[in-house]
Homo-oligomer: A and B are copies of this chain.
Amino acid sequence: MSNSRPPAIILLSGGLDSTTVLAMSLAQGFAPYAMSFDYGQRHAQELDQARHIARQYQVLAHSVVKIDLRAIGGSALTSDLEVPKDRALDQDLDQIPITYVPARNTIFLSFALAWAEVLQARDIFIGVNALDYSGYPDCRQEYIRSYERMANLATRSGVQDHVALRIHTPLIALTKAEIIRVGQDLGVDYALTTSCYDPATNGAPCGRCDACQLRARGFAEAGLPDPLLKRFGQ
């Protein structure tokens, strides 16, 4: 079965968005190869989640690439800066938050590009979203299209074999509620996905960081309970 499906790289953090993207890539007929990053993030359990989800979806391979973003610094997600809590989402998210990791998506896509070339895959999926994270420059359509143009000049397959590489961003224009509804239709088990920037050691979400707030609002707007909260008895 997998032989007839074209391979695709799915950037999988183990969060709500990327898990939905993985389910969408399968629904579109791709043979998924999941790629995750161990980049010294505070919440290493995210990686365990990603592994669990990769197994559940029977990806053809799951590559966990260890990279050292801490050596570069500059973000609350990889350093000792405090994760902001209880921010007013609509006002404050216009500014680029300190949870922004410099050039993170550029680095992640570059590893995906390398793997795509080795696998001879033409398709990369990334769960960026321009609505919820308007403050992140590397979550915008304009950036992704520019990355795609560069990628098609960067690789052997693009240059020698004229194989166009596509970066799929199926969530880019969806609200969190719409993402959740799509995932719900595809049978995604959101109890497996944490979004929290600063979870407790048992994995329970803090409920107060930007990511938890956006998630809560998304489930509320979708008119659905968040199964993760049930799992942690919240």
Interface residues in chain A, defined as those with a beta carbon under 8 Å from any beta carbon in chain B: 63-69, 71-74, 96, 100-107, 109-111, 113-115, 117-118, 137-138, 140, 142-143, 146-147, 149-151, 153-156, 158-160
Contacts and interface: CB of A to CB of B under 8 A. Distances in A.
A96 B106 CA distance: 24
Contacts of A117: 74, 102-103
B63 A65 contact: no
Contacts of A65: 67-68, 71-72
A106 B110 contact: yes
B72 A105 contact: no
Given A65-B67, A65-B68, A107-B107, A114 B74 contact: yes
A150 B147 contact: yes
Given A138-B154, A143-B153, A102 B114 contact: yes
| Copies of this chain, whole number | 2
Judged by DSSP, the binding face of A is helix
Given A103-B117, A106-B151, A153-B140, A72 B68 contact: no
Contact of A106 (B69, B71, B142, B154): B154
A111 B72 contact: yes
A160 to B, nearest CB: 6
A63 to B, nearest CB: 6
Contact of A154 (B71, B111, B143, B159): B143
B159 A137 contact: yes
A114 B70 CA distance: 11
- The CB with the most chain B CB atoms within 10 A, among A66, A71, A102, A154, is that of A154
User: Top 5 nearest A-B pairs by Cβ distance?
Assistant: A103-B114, A74-B118, A102-B117, A137-B159, A102-B114
Contacts of A101: 114
A63 B74 contact: no
Given A137-B155, A153-B142, A67 B67 contact: yes
